[in-house]
Structure 1
Amino acid sequence: MADAAIVRHSALRSSLGLIVGKVAQTGSGFAFWVVAAHATADREIGLTAAAVSAVMICTQLAVLGAGSAVIVAVGRGEAPARVLDAAFAIVGLAGTTLALGYLVLQSALAPDTSSESVLFWLTFLVAAVAGTVAIVLDQALVALGRGATATPRYILGGGVSLAAAALVAWQAQGATADVLMACWALGSITACAVGAVQLRRLVGYRPRPSLRSARGLPLLSLGIPNQLLTLTERLPGLVLPLLLAHMVAPEAAAYWYPAWMMAWAAYTAPMLMGIVQFSEGVREPARLVSTTWASLRWSLAVGGLASVVLIVFAHPLLTLLGERYADSSAGALRWLAAGVVAYAVLQAYNAVCRARGRFAEAIAVGLVLGIALCTAAVWAADRGATAMALAWLVVLSIGAVAVGVRLVAVLHRLTKDAR
């Protein structure tokens, strides 16, 4: 693999390319739920949303920090092919194991849902593995300075998923959750296939997954602390639809999930900026302070613009799913979108902790904050999605103030040491 021939893009170009790709993914995802909402009942939408959240939880657990480990290893000068072979082997095995474990547990605890369907089992398994591989692909291409390749990858993946859902809606009304799940999984498969082609064209990479300890163990030692931190960031939003579907009602998950999914479009900017900030901080530690402030400014600019759009057009956007969604979820979307400022601060703090190896501190903060977010939202669930979102925003803002103070102190110390 001709590593020397790799042409790295600037951190800003890589970040913005990633954001455009994720916006395309989120936009097509929203269109998917619009089509699905008109193709079936609220109960099936709630079950599908819970299943999608479960897949995403499996991917976040199964990745085992392999993507972050690739960023660190490649940033330190290791051969990308060797690192990627180990990473893909690890996440492939972990994704399969976790997905099967979830399916068995789901069948035992809730046999009256779509988990009894063979189609559901197959698509859930494929979606979990493909989604996990896609995470590693994203971060591998960031490590290679080519985060902008996400744009065509997610446009094609989202387009395939949306087309499948539209075909199902056209052919028959009352689609079941397992059929909708199959449509959604097609997008993940397509994104992975495109990513494999991109890696081949960029660096001539041919996958040869290997679990040899000489490759896998060092990768895990780098990745697991990073993944524990990532889980504190992502799990609250993924766990909540499951809690709602199984503790409150599937309809509660159905009304919460579109608002959360759309708000995540704004949150994506700080999240992706944080990944690139982390990558650049590993490659050029001396520039971590300036990189952090630049990433935070761009996070607030891009994420803030997306939030304004969501706040202003919350009701019309949700009306596309149906009036009942707009009436139930518009207020929730506005409160969640307002949380982008707090989320940007949290991502900047976590990226600095990743680059500096301060995992214990960041994981402890994230764990406390995640538990508080889910507890507050479930506590407010009886009063509707808007009350849940307001409780979420209050807790997230309190957490952001705390980590913001800590972030400023760390950056000040780094600036002082550099002088």
Structure 2
Amino acid sequence: MRAGRGTAETDASTVRHSALRSSLGLVVAKAAQTGAGFAFWVVAARATSDREVGLTMAAVSAVMLCTQLAVLGAGSAVIVSVGRGEPPARVLDAAFAIVGVAGTGLALGYLVLQAAVTPDTASLSVLFWLTFLVAAVTGTLVIVLDQALVALGRGASAAPRYALGGGVALGAAGLVAWRAHGASADVLMACWTLGTTVACVVGAIQLRRLVGYRPRPTLRAARGRSLLALGLPNQILTLTERAPGLLLPLLLAHLVSPEAAAYWYPAWMMAWAAYTAPMLMGIVQFSEGVREPDRLVATTWASLRWSLAVGGLAAVVLVVFARPLLGLMGERYADSSADALRLLAAGLVAYAVLQAYNAVCRARGRYAEAIIVGVTLGAALCVGALLAAERGASAMALAWLVVLSIGAAGAGIRLVAVLRRVKQDSR
């Protein structure tokens, strides 16, 4: 393997692992991240009030929303570009420059907007501003790192960086809980940001060691336009998948109450642990579909089976142990959110079908259709959950499950039709 400046050459046979190994490695990594994240919220819930926990959860959701907007499809563009044989170093330099600038701008924009709309919250804290900005930038870079390593067949490398980052954040939160009960939202946010930063630094080191890449971000117009042309349609589609789950805690915190966000978010976060299996399988399915389009049908059904097997196992664990898991945060969380967690976990099958459909649309360039489906479904999910918010987290989760299932049924019908057409075209 050889990786040089600008014209880096990477022998795919020496660095790529199997699609299954890459997928399962990503799942293990996200499981480690989610486990550490859940432990972080357990410590936070016992270190301060429900209000401060709710505000911190809303801030974390805002950071994640900023990262999803700021990535501008750069990760997907890297998958496509590297899959087509372009030099990884040149592609990555442009991608990291774009998302770094975008992440900074969006984070600052959100902070200014929040300070103007809700000046009575932590938004006026200097510590909050600094940690929010760092979290948004490093979080965006981590997304690109993940997808770059998937494109290079090294998705399994995500496990150690997420385990280390999550452990650092948990350790910092534990120290805060030990030293000062009643920690404010900005202090908890600083602990969470520390973990994200560590994961980003470790990812950069891994990219250097695995493929010899040395980052030299550049904003050359030609390269930037090429990446954005590839990435933006993918990013819009990704936003339709992620935005509903990220927006809802924010909407709850500001339109209903911080406590409502505090009781909803742990259930959603744990359900997302199961949902990450089909989401990550979909990323690898997309990458393999670009690299080997003739095998798209077989890859899709294999990815869907593994999504249901791995994600389904996680969902069963969540259904069975919903109450004791949430009870770690306190009895009020278990009482308010256990049934909600069970209902959300039951949505795993529907989410897996949606991810398989979206991955096929990405690989085939059918963005308009998938985006229309995603926007419609996302709006319905948020509206349905908000309308049920006054009746508690369980009612919200039931509304979410019903809407998600209806959307997945329609997407599943379209998935079968598209794959049938792909099979006919390949004959």
Match of residue 225, structure 2, among 198, 204, 217: 217
Amino acid at match of 1:12: L
Alpha-carbon distance in 1 for matches of 2:59, 2:284: 30
Deviation at 1:416, TM superposition (A): 1.6
- Indicate the RMSD between aligned Cα atoms, in angstroms: 0.6
Alpha-carbon distance in 1 for matches of 2:49, 2:278: 34
Q: Equivalent residue for 1:376? A: 384
Tell whether 2:194 aligns with 1:186: yes
Alpha-carbon distance in 2 for matches of 1:411, 1:217: 31
Amino acid at match of 1:83: V
5 Å-filtered alignment, 1:338-417, equals: 338-417=346-425
Tell whether 2:163 aligns with 1:155: yes
Tell whether 2:18 aligns with 1:26: no
Alpha-carbon distance in 1 for matches of 2:159, 2:367: 31
Deviation at 1:206, TM superposition (A): 0.6
5 Å-filtered alignment, 1:11-410, equals: 11-410=19-418
- CA offsets 1:114-154 (integer angstroms, 9 cap, x no match): 00000000000000000000000000000000000000010
| SS of corresponding position for 2:216 | coil
Amino acid at match of 1:259: A
Alpha-carbon distance in 2 for matches of 1:330, 1:418: 48
| SS of corresponding position for 1:3 | coil
Alpha-carbon distance in 1 for matches of 2:359, 2:196: 26
Deviation at 1:365, TM superposition (A): 0.3
Q: Equivalent residue for 2:10? A: 3
Amino acid at match of 2:341: L
Amino acid at match of 1:349: Y
Same amino acid, percent of matched pairs: 80
| SS of corresponding position for 2:15 | coil
Aligned residue pairs, count: 419
| SS of corresponding position for 1:9 | coil
Q: Any unmatched runs of 5+ in structure 1?
A: none
Alpha-carbon distance in 2 for matches of 1:203, 1:293: 31
Contact kept, 8 Å, 2:286 with 2:359, in 1: the verdict is: yes
| SS of corresponding position for 2:11 | helix
Deviation at 1:395, TM superposition (A): 0.1
Amino acid at match of 2:102: A
TM-score (ref. length: structure 1):
1.00
Alpha-carbon distance in 2 for matches of 1:202, 1:310: 35
Alpha-carbon distance in 1 for matches of 2:147, 2:409: 28
Alpha-carbon distance in 2 for matches of 1:350, 1:135: 18
Deviation at 1:413, TM superposition (A): 1.1
Alpha-carbon distance in 2 for matches of 1:307, 1:247: 30
Alpha-carbon distance in 1 for matches of 2:411, 2:242: 17
Alpha-carbon distance in 2 for matches of 1:174, 1:29: 20
Amino acid at match of 1:188: T
Deviation at 1:7, TM superposition (A): 1.8
Alpha-carbon distance in 1 for matches of 2:398, 2:289: 34
Alpha-carbon distance in 2 for matches of 1:272, 1:104: 33
Alpha-carbon distance in 1 for matches of 2:97, 2:112: 23
Amino acid at match of 1:4: D
Alpha-carbon distance in 1 for matches of 2:349, 2:240: 18
Alpha-carbon distance in 2 for matches of 1:250, 1:179: 17
Q: Equivalent residue for 2:6? A: none
Deviation at 1:247, TM superposition (A): 0.3
Deviation at 1:215, TM superposition (A): 1.1
Moved over 2 A (4+): none
Alpha-carbon distance in 2 for matches of 1:338, 1:260: 12
- CA offsets 1:217-236 (integer angstroms, 9 cap, x no match): 10000000000000000000
- CA offsets 1:78-116 (integer angstroms, 9 cap, x no match): 000000000000000000000000000000000000000
| SS of corresponding position for 1:87 | helix
Contact kept, 8 Å, 2:253 with 2:260, in 1: the verdict is: yes
Contact kept, 8 Å, 2:15 with 2:211, in 1: the verdict is: no
Alpha-carbon distance in 1 for matches of 2:207, 2:347: 35
Deviation at 1:203, TM superposition (A): 1.1
TM-score (ref. length: structure 2):
0.98
